Structure 1
């Protein structure tokens, strides 16, 4: 029987050219506005995006940083996590979650996920807590929220911080509220393939605590409390003006972009089930 010479169809996971073409006018305008400003680091675009993203995610404070990994790292540092501490998170997550814990000087303690959601199994938490445990990092994976009610209850019972890893869950909701608005801090990534993606690296940390937000702003810029005066060891981890401008252009379209992803997922689910 003759062998088929037909080339298999390659469908990209995400077509960034098509995504740009769909919003080209708004993105080009955002780029031009940022370039024409003459101010490219921590200017008006970053400040405006922080305000707009915080409002969209129902969080009081937003601090833009250089990447999603940095968002987890700086979030943990701002909560006081450091050497000698343990941080509980899931084994099933991107390497960045665990890398950030180690970069903070803490020890990651991995627990399993539930088979139906692939997110942190709250039943695994109590056995993982030790006198050195300082924080829990539930990961909202593939856009599916972790079961936050029992996670938060256990964490509060033991006096632990909760940092939500929302790198794959911009706009996801739990009990009717956006993820990222429940914990003591929440880390977001704006890597280009995320459902809210920049055209380069970027990230943000949300928090309900004004003092945590203040520490985050210091940590992202060398630990400065005032210009050129570092009070704590910090980083060079700033969301730049160009990426902030692009994210501002995309943010109003997040609900429709999420809806499009759900439609595609449903189509694949139906086809694979058949």
Structure 2
């Protein structure tokens, strides 16, 4: 858990310093794009706090009301973070940009804007590299985009997405400020703010889609389910495999239910040994599968409802 918090702490520290500086400079220079960037950094700071709250709540032990634990708390809070990025980050930046386009104000000396943007890029880049290093460590050699698609840990990919959007937003803000001042067209500063708003909204939509899938019960990938079937079929007493039902109940915890057809003449003891072997091999190959329930469709001994739940590891 401590390792998961490292990217969040890095992002919070960077965003607090950057947000305060951006707001001060936006007030001095009158830059709409800089004000949007300040709002962006303030929202990112609050989002980091919410992710820490989600991490803490997700580690609570299982209870009678929540027998599989509270791992999905993290998905709920990551959804709230994504909604805030969309509403506060994207929405307010878009609104501020439209207002500045409709009523442009000449920009005063932009020098401080460039200084702040350069410092912000340094801090945001550092935060991004911390999150990227953490993510690459979790990926264990899997190609970046494939690992990003497979990741079920919002603490890392949310910070990566936020920092990526922040770095892109800084570039847009710098271009908007430069052309606004160089061409004496104040409205371009507002256009940059609108672009930043659209950028944040796009990132938020992607994060919302990821959180939605996990909250409503996303399961393992088809190739993982196929591999589980192959493990089951390796047992001599197994005649066939039915459904492989699965669901993520936390970033690194999966529940799996497997329907197994045993041969008619399989003794009960052999079936129990086969189930134990299946559980052991599946856990060894897929460590995130903590709970396995093997249901015997044609159970030995005539009990058609026999099932043995795998103990949590």
Pick the structure with greater CA Rg: 2
With the length of structure 1 as denominator, give the TM-score of the two structures: 0.23
Higher relative contact order (CA 8 A, sep 6+): 1
With the length of structure 2 as denominator, give the TM-score of the two structures: 0.21
Higher fraction of helix: 2
